[in-house]
Amino acid sequence: MKKVLVTGACGYLGARLSKYLAENGFRITAFDSFDPSMYSQWTSLMEEVIIGDIRDETILYNLAKKQFDIVIHLISLDHNRSEDEPNFVSSINVMPTWNLLDKLSKNGLEKFIYFSTQQVLGKLPSTIIDESSPPNPINKYGLTHLLCEQIVNYYNEITETKCINIRLSNGYGSPVFKENNCWWLVINDFCKMANERGEIKLLSDGSPQRDFIHNLDISRAVGVLIKSKEDFIDNIFHIATGETWAILELAHIVADIYKGRYNKEIPIFLPDNSISESPELYQNEQRFNIDITKMKKLGFQPEISLQKGILELFEYLNSLYLDSSDIY
Ligand SMILES: NC(=O)c1ccc[n+]([C@@H]2O[C@H](COP(=O)([O-])OP(=O)(O)OC[C@H]3O[C@@H](n4cnc5c(N)ncnc54)[C@H](O)[C@@H]3O)[C@@H](O)[C@H]2O)c1
């Protein structure tokens, strides 16, 4: 059984991923600054839970001694906090990637999987975007992820460790921990507004486009990368569905699913407080399309439809009022 270190294991994606890998036969060491001890069902799945700050040299030194087969690195500030002062932002978003690779690749590490983002590409043109599309970040969050990709590429070149960059589009789906920072994600936010306020309010005109993938499909994709016997010389992989939606279309999809489940119409308010009657406004707009051929060639195919993922979110939101169990 492979021994896997997940950093950021208590975050929105890390908690789901650690649970999925533990349930699929991996020995997981979960590392995070968040203390998950009140989630006893989740912690009981982990081989070890280490609470600490990734900037701490002693912690890195002790992690290196544990001789992991695989590291999955998910620690980063979100896009808002990444706009903070450069020394602070790079100490969390960039330096830990370098330090982890520097220390752990010397100890027989087989694979290092880095969670990057589609935002390294900057503004997406309305074409097919494959992994060779040139990066051109337009915010600090994208910039720091691109710097990490370069560090990952360097270690892929000069060490025996297979170092992989995942370029993730946008996740959605229920969190494992109530504290997870996930309600700013557009689909999650729309479901929460529908559930709590009986309305959806858009912050934009609804024209921005997104590719959303459910967090369980993200976990499955990582499982495929872990098991693959590829040489990973070509080491960037899109994790996405390959389906692009305008935000307005997503709002109408959430409202339609809400109506089907609760038999109740909810209004979709545009920023000028007018009500959107139809999702068709942007239907003829050209779209970008995130190409997922490389992941498909490894055997990965997203399985959770928007319909299923949104229903799952409504189930979760209802369970918050009804259920006192400690894990979802
Ligand atoms: N959520 C998405 O849709 C999405 C999309 C693209 C890329 N990503 C990337 O995937 C990764 C995981 O995203 P997420 O949504 O789970 O983020 P998250 O903020 O929920 O999780 C990050 C975790 O890192 C931990 N952490 C932060 N600073 C730390 C420190 N100094 N020491 C130890 N732990 C620390 C936090 O406690 C948190 O649990 C990030 O790199 C993110 O940029 C996420």
Question: Is residue 193 domain-shared with residue 120, that is, in the same domain?
Answer: no
Predicted local confidence at residue 322, as pLDDT = 65
Which of the listed residues 53, 75, 94 should we mutate to test ligand 1's pocket, taking the one with most ligand atoms within 8 A of CB?
75
Question: Is residue 50 domain-shared with residue 157, that is, in the same domain?
Answer: yes
* Phi-psi region at 8: left, alpha or beta (left = phi > 0; alpha = psi -120 to 50): left
Question: Is residue 143 domain-shared with residue 199, that is, in the same domain?
Answer: no
Question: Is residue 90 domain-shared with residue 200, that is, in the same domain?
Answer: no
Q: Please check the confidence at residue 323 and state whether its pLDDT lies above 70.
A: no
| 228: CATH | 3.40.50.720
Q: State the distance from the centre of ligand 1 to the C-alpha of 282, rounded, in angstroms.
A: 32
Which of the listed residues 74, 146, 167, 217 should we mutate to test ligand 1's pocket, taking the one with most ligand atoms within 8 A of CB?
74
Residue 176's CB is within 10 A of a number of other CB atoms, namely 27
Question: Is residue 190 domain-shared with residue 164, that is, in the same domain?
Answer: no
Question: Is residue 263 domain-shared with residue 315, that is, in the same domain?
Answer: yes
* Domain annotation covers residue 176: no
**pLDDT digit string, tens, across residues 59-116:** 999 999 999 999 999 999 999 999 999 999 999 999 999 999 999 999 899 999 999 9
Domain that holds residue 234: 3-171+212-239
Question: Is residue 123 domain-shared with residue 160, that is, in the same domain?
Answer: yes
- The whole-angstrom separation of Cα 45 and Cα 247 is 37
* Domain annotation covers residue 328: no
- The whole-angstrom separation of Cα 214 and Cα 307 is 11
* Domain annotation covers residue 291: no
In 3-state terms, the chain is what percent helix, strand and coil (to 5)?
A: 45, 15, 40
| Residue 200 bridge partners (DSSP) | 268
Q: Which atom of ligand 1 is nearest to the CA of 14?
A: 16
Q: State the distance from the centre of ligand 1 to the C-alpha of 76, rounded, in angstroms.
A: 5
Concatenate the DSSP letters of all residues of 43-96 into one string.
HHHSSEEEE--TT-HHHHHHHHHT--SEEEE-----TTGGGS-HHHHHHHHTHH
Predicted local confidence at residue 281, as pLDDT = 82
CB 310, CB 186: distance < 8 Å:
no
Question: Is residue 270 domain-shared with residue 154, that is, in the same domain?
Answer: no
Q: Which of the residue ranges 3-17, 148-162, 270-284 would you say has the lowest mean pLDDT?
A: 270-284
